[in-house]
Chains A and B, each alone.
Chain A
Amino acid sequence: MAREIYQAITDGILVGGVYALMAVGLTLIFGVLDIINIAQGIMVILGAYLSYELAARLHIDLFLGLLVTVPAMFVIGVVIQYAFIRPLRGRERMSMTLLVSYAVALIIEGILYETFGADDRQLSAWYVTSSVHVFGFYLPYIYLFGFALALLLVAALYALLYRTGFGRSVRATMQDETAARLVGIDTNRVAAITFGVGVAVTAAGGMVYGATNSFNPNSGYDLISRLLAIIILGGLGSIGGALAASIFMLTLESLVDIWQPTWAIVVFYAALVIVLVIRPTGFFGRQPVRAQ
């Protein structure tokens, strides 16, 4: 029993790292643009399909392929922001942007169904099938590599945000958009690039997700609902909160999975509801959600 629990905790932390990567993109987009990008889930799946195509047709290694898919997703993100998110203004902007991103998700889902069909796919490589023996556990390499990649990218995002001039303007825009504009920050450009970066990291998340799970165009719904639960729990707009909440939630889920496999995912949402009843700002939310 104890062994199973250790294994579940290890799995939860490793998978949580990958979810953190996707959730950080989502929470960053929220922080800067004040929108919830419902399309984030399907973007992850799109990233997985892109990696799949590169691997299947051109025999490019999954991790090397990221050099292509990450910039591609960045461009897609910037285009979506420019074409559909930027024109929205006015009182209903919040709900409008939500629905627009939902519509974008539908379109991408439809295109994926048209192109790839509804069959389940999974990415394959040597590190997906073979595992390493550590402290008596068998861990597939992909979990370790994925976790390392997630750490690397989250660290890179952190450096971008806290160690560069661009990061400073992003943080300024998060704090107060009007004031940021007053001191000469091009908030439109910041918004476009942030959206692009937030979407670009899903390419990496999608690759690891696609290697550790089978996926089809419908998988986006399950993903986005988990990601939303994670970023709300971590406190909207809080990057550290997204990290902590991903690891907490995924560990919790894999622990419950030992006893109750069918109900494990409910724990996810139940935890969200319980936490919000006690603390409406999430774990790390600075400003109260009510007063936004």
Chain B
Amino acid sequence: MSKGQILRVTGLVALLAAAVLFPVVFSNPVYTNYGVYTLVFVAVASAWNVFSGFSGYISLGHAVFFGSGAYALGIAARDWHVTGVGVFGLLPLAAAVGAVIAVPFGLIALRVRRHTFIVITIAVFFIFQLMAYNFSFTGGSSGVDAPFLPWQASTYNNPFYYITLACAVGMIALAWLIRRSRFGLQLRAIRDDEDRARGLGVHAMRVKLAAFALSGAVTALVGAVWFFYLTQVQPPSAFDPLFDLSVVLMAFLGGLGTVSGPVLGALIIEPGQLWLTANANGYISEILLGALFLVAVLLVPRGIIPTAGEYLRRLTTRGRAAIPTASATVPQAPDPAPAQEAQR
């Protein structure tokens, strides 16, 4: 392993250790509550990014999966009389529901591109919200309650913290693997030029649909965990337009299509949003969220990770290209003096 790789691995292990130890150090439920919510969004933003960030199809309807996962487990637990800790055994069902919804949703929505795709996802989102309100098995506007978990209030958050941590870490690892794989390459080829990608033999529909279903399955799974944590689900909280916006905002702020970007975005935005909601009037926090987003878009339009990465590279290479391009064959005689000075 090179020096850089060792550094990176050590950093990741240290981050993971910090994440694992967080509830031990900050055992106050107020802080662990922040932790659970943040990890929920780390996982969801990462899942969203695997589809939308990699393929360039911006989905504003991921709350469909989030809410459906929550509802699916609520209804299953209620109708099959599953109680206590056993409900966590139902979690795979949520993922399956997410994937099953994603297939027809994707088959319709992925036929069109760009704006039309976005609008279709919004339309499907509203159809789901209305269904949650109007069907009898969803409990109408009073929603569904989760089974009671006989855990102590002081440590109630901790199991949820570790479950969401596992989801988040798993999703990040998956995103990393996909980005390096042939599948990830195909997705990014679709993002850059779908027609050309098809011409080169990428089965565009199949690839997009697979990514959509995967993203939907993970989002539904996390939605189900979130539902157990909140112990209830209602149509406006399960299918929340602000949820869609927050997730997209996180990915954009961190860096669309990068693995670490959405994670960083979620780590910045979700605690900030929770803090604002707790400490400021709800509408003020809405205004601030919007303003933060405008500022982020105008100042770092490509996201923090790509912008910072470029800045760092410029700093370390002092303006020269990191990798000499083929066209830059003009021999440059770099003055060795400043380099030596910098090394000292």
Residues of A within 8 A of B (CB): 30, 36, 84, 87-88, 90, 92, 94-96, 98-100, 102-107, 109-111, 113-114, 221, 225, 228-229, 232, 236, 262-263, 265-266, 269-270, 272-273, 276-277, 280, 289-290, 292
Complex partner residue of A99 from B242, B248, B284, B286, CB under 8 angstroms: B248
Task: List B238-265 residues whose CB lies under 8 Å from chain A.
Answer: 241-242, 245, 248-249, 252, 256
B287 and A111 form a contact (CB under 8 A)? yes
The 8 A CB mask of B262-304 against A (1 = contact, 0 = none) is 0000000000000000000101101101110110011001100
Asked if B94 lies at the interface with its beta carbon under 8 angstroms from chain A, I say no
B112 and A36 form a contact (CB under 8 A)? no
> How many whole Å from B104's CB to the nearest CB in chain A?
10
Task: List B90-114 residues whose CB lies under 8 Å from chain A.
Answer: 108, 111-114
A92 and B249 form a contact (CB under 8 A)? no
> How many whole Å from A43's CB to the nearest CB in chain B?
14
Asked if B18 lies at the interface with its beta carbon under 8 angstroms from chain A, I say no
Number of interface residues of B (CB under 8 A): 42
Residues of B within 8 A of A (CB): 58, 60, 108, 111-116, 118-120, 122-124, 126-127, 130-131, 133-134, 241-242, 245, 248-249, 252, 256, 281, 283-284, 286-287, 289-291, 293-294, 297-298, 301-302
B123 and A106 form a contact (CB under 8 A)? no
- Residues on B with C-beta less than 8 A from A221 are 241
> How many whole Å from A33's CB to the nearest CB in chain B?
11
For the complex with contacts A114-B287, A269-B124, 19 further pairs of A-B residues with Cβ separation under 8 Å are A36-B115, A84-B298, A88-B297, A92-B301, A94-B114, A96-B301, A99-B297, A103-B289, A103-B291, A104-B290, A106-B287, A229-B119, A262-B134, A270-B127, A272-B123, A273-B120, A276-B108, A276-B111, A292-B114
B294 and A84 form a contact (CB under 8 A)? yes
Scoring B114, B120, B123, B298 by chain A CB atoms within 10 A of each residue's CB, the highest score goes to: B123
In the complex, number of A-B residue pairs with CB atoms less than 8 Å apart: 130
A96 to B133, CA, bound (A): 31
Query: Which are the 5 A-B pairs with shortest beta-carbon distances?
Result: A110-B287, A106-B290, A107-B290, A110-B286, A113-B283
Query: Assuming the A-B contacts A90-B301, A113-B286, are A102 and B111 also in contact, with contact meaning beta carbons closer than 8 angstroms in the complex?
Result: no
> How many whole Å from A67's CB to the nearest CB in chain B?
30
Return 27 A-B CB contacts under 8 Å, by A number. A30-B115, A94-B58, A95-B58, A95-B118, A95-B256, A98-B60, A98-B118, A100-B297, A102-B245, A103-B294, A104-B294, A106-B286, A106-B289, A106-B293, A107-B287, A110-B284, A113-B283, A114-B283, A228-B123, A229-B119, A263-B130, A269-B124, A270-B127, A272-B123, A273-B124, A289-B112, A292-B115
**Closest A-chain residue to B126, C-beta based?**
A225
Complex partner residue of B116 from A88, A95, A110, A289, CB under 8 angstroms: A289
A276 and B112 form a contact (CB under 8 A)? yes
B contacts with A: majority SS: helix
> How many whole Å from B99's CB to the nearest CB in chain A?
20
> How many whole Å from A266's CB to the nearest CB in chain B?
5
- Residues on B with C-beta less than 8 A from A280 are 111-112, 116
A102 to B60, CA, bound (A): 11
- Residues on B with C-beta less than 8 A from A272 are 120, 123
A236 to B116, CA, bound (A): 8
Complex partner residue of A100 from B134, B281, B294, CB under 8 angstroms: B294
- Residues on B with C-beta less than 8 A from A290 are 111-113
A228 and B119 form a contact (CB under 8 A)? yes
Query: Assuming the A-B contacts A95-B58, A111-B287, are A269 and B108 also in contact, with contact meaning beta carbons closer than 8 angstroms in the complex?
Result: no
Query: Assuming the A-B contacts A92-B301, A107-B291, are A273 and B123 also in contact, with contact meaning beta carbons closer than 8 angstroms in the complex?
Result: yes
> How many whole Å from A29's CB to the nearest CB in chain B?
12
A99 and B122 form a contact (CB under 8 A)? no
- Residues on A with C-beta less than 8 A from B118 are 36, 95, 98
Scoring A30, A106, A111, A280 by chain B CB atoms within 10 A of each residue's CB, the highest score goes to: A106
B127 and A269 form a contact (CB under 8 A)? yes
A270 to B286, CA, bound (A): 31
> How many whole Å from A220's CB to the nearest CB in chain B?
10
A221 to B291, CA, bound (A): 19
Query: Assuming the A-B contacts A103-B293, A266-B130, A290-B111, are A88 and B301 also in contact, with contact meaning beta carbons closer than 8 angstroms in the complex?
Result: yes
A110 to B291, CA, bound (A): 11
> How many whole Å from A222's CB to the nearest CB in chain B?
8
- Residues on A with C-beta less than 8 A from B133 are 262
- Residues on B with C-beta less than 8 A from A114 are 281, 283-284, 287
> How many whole Å from A198's CB to the nearest CB in chain B?
15
> How many whole Å from A275's CB to the nearest CB in chain B?
11
> How many whole Å from B205's CB to the nearest CB in chain A?
12
**Closest A-chain residue to B52, C-beta based?**
A95
**Closest A-chain residue to B195, C-beta based?**
A291
- Residues on B with C-beta less than 8 A from A107 are 286-287, 290-291, 294
**Closest B-chain residue to A227, C-beta based?**
B119
- Residues on B with C-beta less than 8 A from A87 are 298
**Closest A-chain residue to B245, C-beta based?**
A102
A236 and B115 form a contact (CB under 8 A)? yes
